[in-house]
Amino acid sequence: KIVVIGSNGQIGTELVTELRKNYGDGNVIACDIRRPDYDIKNAGPFEFVNVLEKDILNQLFRKHKPTQVYLLAALLSATGEQNPKLAWDLNMNGLLNVLDLALEYKTARLYWPSSIAVFGPNSPKDNTPQYCIMDPNTVYGISKLAGERWCEYYFQRYGLDIRSIRYPGLISWKAAPGGGTTDYAIHIFHEALKKGSYQSFLSAETELPMMYMDDAIRGTIELMDAPAENISIRSSYNLTGMSFTPEVLAEEIKKHIPAFKLGYTEYDQRQAIAASWPRSIDDSRAQSDWNWKPEFDLSKMTADMLNNLKK
């Protein structure tokens, strides 16, 4: 059995669908604190799970003895800043609960997402390497950096086969994004089609590493399917698809909607978060360890987003 905790989120929704294609609907248990607000197409088993309630989690592990667990439940950067203690509690204690149970029930492989949010104002901004100064200044980034240290610790000390990716901003159309700083790059497509204009909360020249969800899901599964001996990073792999600014994204959208207008809102706290993150990422370790290669660039992603949202 495969268990996906946080199945209703932006990543979880698509990961559950992909895993069910690979392993069969009945073998992938979708878990979240609330039922999906729409039926996941090939709806399979769903269970209510709150990662902070260890007894419920324990029952889940005891019942399914999962061979793989994906822990995606978390508060993201912007939401986390509105509720720092909850973000730390959910992101950190949720992970610690799952690490313990994965060990106790001998889960073969555990997946836990990190983020480029683990980098901070003093990290190198361009082609940010796998190892460098990491001084995150959001609770989300702090929790992800601490979580990476715990993951590596559980691998080194207990041999737990846990794998992780530092996702850049993820762009998708199937499930709503959840309170991130990079979500302008999703809202812009909806507004471009609905209103022909968008007011970005990030400034014109704010360049950030991004990835199309199709690439993120494929990369996650490729990492989980890679032979353990190929995995040289047990904290979390740098990974990226592309980098762009709101201005560059708007120009690409104009190739499809010539009249599209991009404006900018008043100063927004998410601008400070974005400014603390890298402009681009060096993911050469993922390339060499498990042959990572993105398939979507800016133009292919923009076309795919607009074609799917237009329907």
Of residues 44 and 169, the one with the C-beta less far from ligand VAH: 169
Q: Do residues 10 and 178 touch, judged by C-beta distance below 8 A?
A: yes
Question: Whose Cβ is closer to ligand VAH: residue 170's or residue 253's?
Answer: 170
Q: Which residues contact 227 (CB under 8 A, 6 or more apart)?
A: none
In the set 140, 167, 184, 198, the catalytic residue is: 140
Minimum gap (Å) between residue 71 Cβ and ligand VAH? 15
Which of helix, strand or coil describes residue 1? coil
Nearer to ligand VAH, 160 or 274 (CB): 274
| Nearer Cβ to ligand VAH (44/80) | 80
Return the amino acid letter for 241: G
Token digits for 253? 């959208």
Q: How far is the CB of 85 from ligand VAH (least distance, A)?
A: 18
Cα distance between residue 136 and residue 142, in whole Å = 6
How far is residue 269 CA from its own chain's centroid? 21
Nearest residue to ligand VAH by CB is 180
Alpha helices in the chain, H assignment, sequence order: 10-23, 54-64, 77-82, 84-88, 94-104, 139-158, 184-194, 213-225, 246-254, 269-275, 284-290, 298-310
**184 in catalytic set:** no
**In the bound complex, what is the minimum distance in angstroms from residue 131's beta carbon to ligand VAH?**
19
The residues binding ligand VAH (CB under 6 A) are 76-77, 115-117, 140, 167-170, 180-182
In the complex, least distance from residue 219 CB atom to ligand VAH, rounded to whole angstroms: 15
Tell me the two tokens of residue 50. 């709150």
- Please check whether residue 18 is in contact with residue 221, taking contact to mean a CB–CB distance below 8 angstroms: yes
Task: Give the Cβ contact number of residue 119 at 10 Å.
Answer: 26
| Least gap, CB of 57 to ligand VAH (angstroms) | 24
Written in H, E and C, the secondary structure of 265-294 is: CCCCHHHHHHHCCCCCECCHHHHHHHCCCC
Q: Which is nearer to ligand VAH, 29 or 273 (CB)?
A: 273
Catalytic residues: 140
